[in-house]
Structures are given as structure tokens and as C-alpha cells.
């Protein structure tokens, strides 16, 4: 992957917080490394990327992000292998997607050289924060916010692009069961569901809280028009194993084009598993469960990698999935982790070394 040379200004932290972190007891997204990347858009162009000590921002309360929600983000991970080499997993997909999200929210697209050179310099500076071993990683949060002061209902003329680094372990722990939504939707046709817009996630908290109170960890969203079709689960794309077929919903302007999702589809096809990318009705899911043909449901995403779902609820009924030995979810997760941690052949060319 070739990137246009981009100068990155670096200001190192005076001291490191590394020794104070308990890496065996991390809460996802709560601990951040010593540095962050910052780049401002002003006067019609993106400025020189900077790496600075992690810390608070100074912004006007009238900054447009607070009033009109021009904010998009990405989720990525960096991994360290047994030889202390640092790897990214399909980072160009994240770069392309954050610009796709930005375009939908009328945010200027970010230059490729700024993104990759800034990210690599940041990771090299905070390399010691990346722990070895399956499940350990560095979660990366690129995001863009509108910073121009003013409450007029119009696009901003100033933006801030940033990348934060947070050491991570496994995202979900324990058993995961989901509630199929009968009333709420994550996104609608013609909207911003395909984009990683901050508002998409803010709007899902209330119905998710309701599901949590009923004993479910997440929601399976259904389509906004009829609530008959299954779409995503919380922050994850979804897969259903019906018989030995693997079924997943097609991407659309409502469904996020997940990097892990498309990787699982490629792994399944490579293993000669029958993959169907099509719309799936709630009624089909229940029929398959009642007939004993629904063998697995699992979610996929950068933070989660692959998360098995043990059961689901719909219209007051609860459905439990069988425990099986030849789990697709377990196999895909193992294959992905081995590629990500440089422990297996990367026949797809997904690994990207940070040199």
C-alpha cells in the first residue's frame, strides 16, 4: 500500500502512564495511551497532522458538533505478534469507510497520507501499550467532529480529525442473548445507517436499555418499514446458521458494511460453506428454531470479532440455541485471530505491518 508522504509533527508526553495500567483488568474503552493524533481542517484544507500527549480539548460550546451532530468515527485494532511486530487488519477498508461516512454528513474527506502516516507514527510511539496474546489488542478510534463555533443550521467550515488508542481485551464477556425488536429501528431507507455516524449509536441506547432490563444483552434490529426483516444486532453485523447454510443480510443504506463481516464471508466461501446474502424474515428465524434447524447466531465486528449468541426473544417468547461441537463462530474467530496475530498464512492479503 503506497501512501503520499505526509509530514507528521510529534510532541511527546513528558512521562508515560504505562506502568500504572493493570492490563489484566481492563474495561473496554476506558484507558487511553500517552498520545493521540490531531489534525484540523480550516481555510479549506486539512493541516499538518500532529501527535500530541493525550488530554482534554478546548472547544467553544457553540461548536457545531454539539448542535447539529456532524460527527463520524471508525473502529480498528492493532495487534502484536510473538516477535513484537505490530499489525493492522485491513486498514484501508476503515480509511475508505470513514471517508464514505464523512461524505454522507458533508464532512471533507481526509487525505490518505495523513491517515496512514499519522496512524503509524502514533502506533510506533505507543507500541509498548500493545500487549501480546489472543484477545489482547489496541483498539483505535479515528473520528471527525465539526468545530466551527456558531449555531446556524449549516455545515461547519472547520473540523478536527483525531485518533485515540485504547488497550483492549475481549469486548463481550459472559453469555449473550438478544431481543428481536418489534417497535424500534436502527436506521431507515435513505438515511445514514450505512455510515458510522455518532447519532446512529446515540439513538440505540434507549431501546437497548429496555432490552437490558428484560435480561437481554443486545437488540436485533428489524427494518423500519415492516419490522419483518432482521438487520443488525447493536454494534454487530449478524450471521445465522440454518442447517449448514450461513445466512447474512445484504448491506444497504441501513446496514453497516462491516470489515469483519466481509472477512467472514470470504473465509466461509474459502471453506466451501454455502453462504446466502439475502434478507431474512423474523418468521423464518422462528420457524428454523422450532424445527431445530437454527444451529447458530453470531455477531461480528471490530471490537467483538465474533460473538456467539445463545438465544433470542420475540413477542414474549424465548428461544435457546443448541450447543454444537462444529461451531462456525468458533472456527471463524480462531481463523481471524490467527491471521490478525500473524500466526497463520494470510492468503487474502489482509495484514498490514506497521514498520
Q: What is the pTM of this model?
A: 0.94
- CATH class of the domain defined by 177-340: alpha beta
Whether 285 has a pLDDT exceeding 90, the answer reads yes
Instruction: Kindly report, residue by residue over 318-350, the tens digit of the pLDDT.
Output: 999 999 999 999 999 999 999 999 999 999 999
Mean pLDDT of 1-6: 56
N- to C-terminal Cα distance for the chain?
Answer: 13
Percent of the chain with pLDDT over 70: 98
Q: Cα–Cα distance between 75 and 323 in angstroms, integer?
A: 31
CA-CA-CA-CA dihedral for 24, 350, 250, 199, to nearest 10: 50
Whether 296 has a pLDDT exceeding 70, the answer reads yes
Q: Cα–Cα distance between 89 and 96 in angstroms, integer?
A: 14
Query: Which pLDDT does position 135 carry in this prediction?
Result: 84
Instruction: Kindly report, residue by residue over 26-58, the tens digit of the pLDDT.
Output: 999 999 999 999 999 999 999 999 999 999 999
Nearest CA-CA partner of 236 in 255, 209, 253, 254: 255
Listed by start position, the domains of the chain span 9-168, 177-340
Query: Which pLDDT does position 171 carry in this prediction?
Result: 65
Output the CATH code of domain 9-168.
Answer: 3.30.470.10
Q: Cα–Cα distance between 106 and 267 in angstroms, integer?
A: 35
Q: Cα–Cα distance between 294 and 291 in angstroms, integer?
A: 8
Q: Cα–Cα distance between 39 and 58 in angstroms, integer?
A: 14
The pLDDT mean for the chain works out to 95
Q: Helical H runs in the chain?
A: 65-68, 91-104, 112-125, 198-202, 205-213, 259-270, 282-290, 328-340
Contact 112, 95 (CB under 8 A): yes
Amino acid at each position: 500500500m503506497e501512501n503520499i508522504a505526509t509530514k507528521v509533527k510529534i510532541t511527546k508526553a513528558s512521562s508515560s502512564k504505562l506502568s500504572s495500567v493493570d492490563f489484566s483488568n481492563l474495561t473496554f474503552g476506558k484507558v487511553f495511551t500517552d498520545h493521540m493524533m490531531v489534525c484540523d481542517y480550516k481555510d479549506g484544507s486539512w493541516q499538518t497532522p500532529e501527535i500530541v500527549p493525550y488530554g482534554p480539548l478546548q472547544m467553544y460550546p457553540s461548536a457545531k458538533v454539539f448542535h447539529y451532530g456532524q460527527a463520524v468515527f471508525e473502529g480498528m485494532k492493532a495487534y502484536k505478534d510473538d516477535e513484537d511486530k505490530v499489525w493492522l487488519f485491513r486498514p484501508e477498508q476503515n480509511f475508505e469507510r470513514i471517508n464514505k461516512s464523512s461524505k454522507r454528513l458533508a464532512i471533507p474527506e481526509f487525505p490518505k497520507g495523513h491517515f496512514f502516516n499519522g496512524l503509524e507514527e502514533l502506533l510506533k510511539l505507543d507500541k509498548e501499550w500493545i500487549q501480546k496474546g489472543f484477545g489482547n489488542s489496541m483498539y483505535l478510534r479515528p473520528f471527525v467532529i465539526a468545530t466551527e463555533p456558531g449555531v446556524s443550521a449549516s455545515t461547519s467550515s472547520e473540523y478536527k480529525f483525531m485518533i485515540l488508542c485504547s488497550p483492549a481485551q475481549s469486548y463481550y464477556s459472559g453469555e449473550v442473548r438478544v431481543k428481536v425488536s418489534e417497535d424500534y429501528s436502527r436506521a431507515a431507507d435513505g438515511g445514514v445507517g450505512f455510515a458510522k455516524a455518532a447519532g446512529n449509536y446515540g439513538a440505540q441506547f434507549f431501546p437497548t436499555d429496555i432490552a437490558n432490563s428484560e435480561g437481554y444483552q443486545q437488540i436485533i434490529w428489524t427494518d423500519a418499514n415492516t419490522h419483518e426483516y432482521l438487520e443488525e444486532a447493536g454494534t454487530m453485523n449478524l450471521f445465522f446458521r440454518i442447517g449448514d447454510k450461513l445466512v447474512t443480510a445484504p448491506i444497504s443504506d441501513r446496514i453497516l458494511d462491516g470489515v469483519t463481516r466481509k472477512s467472514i464471508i470470504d473465509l466461509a466461501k474459502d471453506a466451501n460453506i454455502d453462504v446466502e446474502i439475502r434478507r431474512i424474515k423474523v418468521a423464518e428465524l422462528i420457524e428454523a428454531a422450532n424445527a431445530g434447524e437454527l444451529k447458530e447466531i453470531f455477531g461480528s465486528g471490530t471490537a467483538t470479532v465474533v460473538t456467539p449468541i445463545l438465544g433470542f426473544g420475540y413477542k414474549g417468547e424465548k428461544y435457546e440455541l443448541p450447543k454444537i461441537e462444529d461451531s462456525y463462530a468458533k472456527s471463524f474467530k480462531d481463523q481471524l485471530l490467527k491471521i490478525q496475530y500473524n500466526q497463520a498464512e494470510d492468503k487474502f492479503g489482509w495484514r498490514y505491518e506497521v514498520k
